[in-house]
Structure 1
Amino acid sequence: MGLLSTAVRDVRTGRFERTLAGLTAAGAAVTAGEIFFSHDGASFGNTMMWWPVAVVPTAIPAGIAAVFSPRAARTVLPLASAAIVANGLQGTYLHWRGIAQRPGGITRYNVESGPPPFAPLLASLVGGMGLLAAVLRREGRH
């Protein structure tokens, strides 16, 4: 069997834990960088802006550990991922609140020029990937 057909079979049978854990680590690295630069561009005007900069990168070592350790995939990765999901939901609230506090409230202009309303949900998706990885079966055990 080729590598691609093996990967497809693993996904179909729910054996995708290691791969999804690795993708979670990679996604967290990219997302953490994007969050840092976006919040830095806003001069970290609210101290709450530091939370995702601290929380999202926790999935990087947790995801890498989960690739190599089934135990880490069941313990550390879900904890880091749940924290990221919670922080993303909190960030969504804070971004919408920031938009609403702008002059004129929630208008198309304020949604387009204010804090990105859905960006924190993207971080939550990275956390969701980690939570999903934690409940899947590991590749290579057939």
Structure 2
Amino acid sequence: MNWAGWPLDRILILFVSLAFMMMTVQVTFFHYRQNFHHKAMWIPVLAAPLFFVVGMVFTFYRTSWLSTLFLILMWFGILDGLIGFYYHFRGVGIRVGGWELRNFLIGPPIVLPLMFTALSGLGLVAVYWR
């Protein structure tokens, strides 16, 4: 593969797509561990691999409809990550002892949904890059 001549936006979309592949594994492990006790846990588990596939296809086939689809998915990813942060933060608070440090260490990871949001934001930067 010849990387020479690839614009920065294309490399960023590739990076974001691969990061969502890794995010798929992590999110699935954490939510499986909790037995998907809340239906909202399925959203990032199903969305992250979709983001990966669409991003990889968009990396190599630059069409306007893929650009639009990728944009919509990245905006959805930002929203999903923010909702996930709310649920994770609330999940720490309902543990015995509330928002104590130990609950942040053993409770739902509050940074992971923010990473989902940040990756989606980076995907938007790549698409809007001119």
Bucket of the pairwise TM-score, normalised by the shorter protein: 0.7 to 0.9
- Which one of the candidate residues 106, 117, 123 is aligned to 2:116? 123
- Which one of the candidate residues 51, 55, 63 is aligned to 1:63? 55
**How far, CA to CA, are the matches of 1:132 and 1:35 in structure 2?**
23
- What displacement does 1:72 show? 4.4
Runs of 4+ that moved beyond 3 A? none
- What displacement does 1:126 show? 1.6
The residue type paired with residue 78 of structure 1 is L
Bigger mean CA offset, 85-94 vs 121-130: 121-130
CA RMSD of superposed structures (Å): 1.9
- What displacement does 1:61 show? 2.1
**How far, CA to CA, are the matches of 2:78 and 2:49 in structure 1?**
13
Q: Is the 8 A contact 1:28 1:57 kept in 2?
A: yes
Other-structure match for 1:96: 89
**How far, CA to CA, are the matches of 2:66 and 2:123 in structure 1?**
9
**How far, CA to CA, are the matches of 1:42 and 1:63 in structure 2?**
28
- Larger Cα-atom Rg: 1
The residue type paired with residue 124 of structure 2 is L
Count matched residues: 128
The residue type paired with residue 68 of structure 2 is T
State TM-score, norm by structure 1.
0.81
- What displacement does 1:84 show? 0.9
Gaps in structure 1 of 5+ consecutive residues: 138-142
Other-structure match for 1:82: 75
Provide the secondary structure at the position in 2 that maps to 1:32: helix
**How far, CA to CA, are the matches of 2:40 and 2:127 in structure 1?**
28
Provide the secondary structure at the position in 2 that maps to 1:75: helix
**How far, CA to CA, are the matches of 2:107 and 2:33 in structure 1?**
13
- Residue-by-residue CA offset, 1:9-50 (whole Å, 9 max, x unaligned): x7xxxx412111111110111001110011111111222111
